[in-house]
Structure 1
């Protein structure tokens, strides 16, 4: 009985106007194809750019250029006698229409991760935590972009 109800609901989705977020004709896929991030200024921004480009490959002739700023802070934690450092990151993005040079949308995402500050590989552990954080922030950026895609308006053909 339950599977029959689920099947009926699934068959009814196309008639209700449901479009998958990543579907070829969705508004978000159109926006994702028309966004390019500016070149990075440092290693952290480079890691962030590469994490975003793993999810949305760079394209030519885009409508929007994204200016972004990555800010990191480090907070010491003492958990049961183990020294840990929490890395907190914020990415603030401005979506600039490349035709009008007008900022169309400002967005911000935050995330955190941590690493153990003990041992002889502190720099390696810190860099690994920073790379993981850039992956987290890239995922949140894409999710936020999809959620706000309608705010960027129609993309001209």
Structure 2
């Protein structure tokens, strides 16, 4: 009995989404296809730029030139999060912010701009080499988080872009 109610509710939800004009973002009329392979990124200058660009191109495709250019300014701040009774820090939190602007490659007009925030952390309880590796891995995770959020925001606002 419980399973049949669940199937009914799921079916009603699917029908309700179809009736309200819901379109999958990567479907035939979805706004995600409008951006795939059409956004060129600035060349990476730092390891964080490289990690951000790699994730962005993994999801959106590579475009060495296209109708859009994405400029992203990334900042990363580090906070002490945990410490021992002797005052040694054992955990750090990385707070990241990506301020972005999508411009028309031809006219240089800003089409979409915004910012997004994310955080991640790492432990310092291992050796110096392990701590440095954990810090780098945390920075890479943070860049993936920021890239995913920028992509999501661009896709949501893609309906406002000129054809």
| 1:128 alignment partner, one of 121, 126, 137 | 137
Quote the offset at 1:99 in angstroms.
1.4
Counterpart of 1:7 in structure 2 is 11
Counterpart of 1:85 in structure 2 is 92
Counterpart of 2:125 in structure 1 is 118
Q: Distance in 1 between matches of 2:95 and 2:9?
A: 45
Q: How many residues align?
A: 154
Counterpart of 1:99 in structure 2 is 106
TM-score (norm 1): 0.85
Counterpart of 1:154 in structure 2 is 162
Query: Any stretches of 5+ residues in structure 2 without a counterpart?
Result: none
Secondary structure of residue in 2 paired with 1:69 = strand
Query: Any stretches of 5+ residues in structure 1 without a counterpart?
Result: none
**2:96–2:117 CA contact under 8 A, matched in 1:** yes
* 1:62-105 CA distance string (max 9 Å, x none): 21100111111111112676610101111111111011111112
Q: Distance in 2 between matches of 1:10 and 1:62?
A: 36
Secondary structure of residue in 2 paired with 1:142 = helix
Q: Distance in 2 between matches of 1:29 and 1:125?
A: 36
Q: Distance in 2 between matches of 1:27 and 1:46?
A: 26
Secondary structure of residue in 2 paired with 1:32 = coil
Counterpart of 1:145 in structure 2 is 154
Quote the offset at 1:49 in angstroms.
0.4
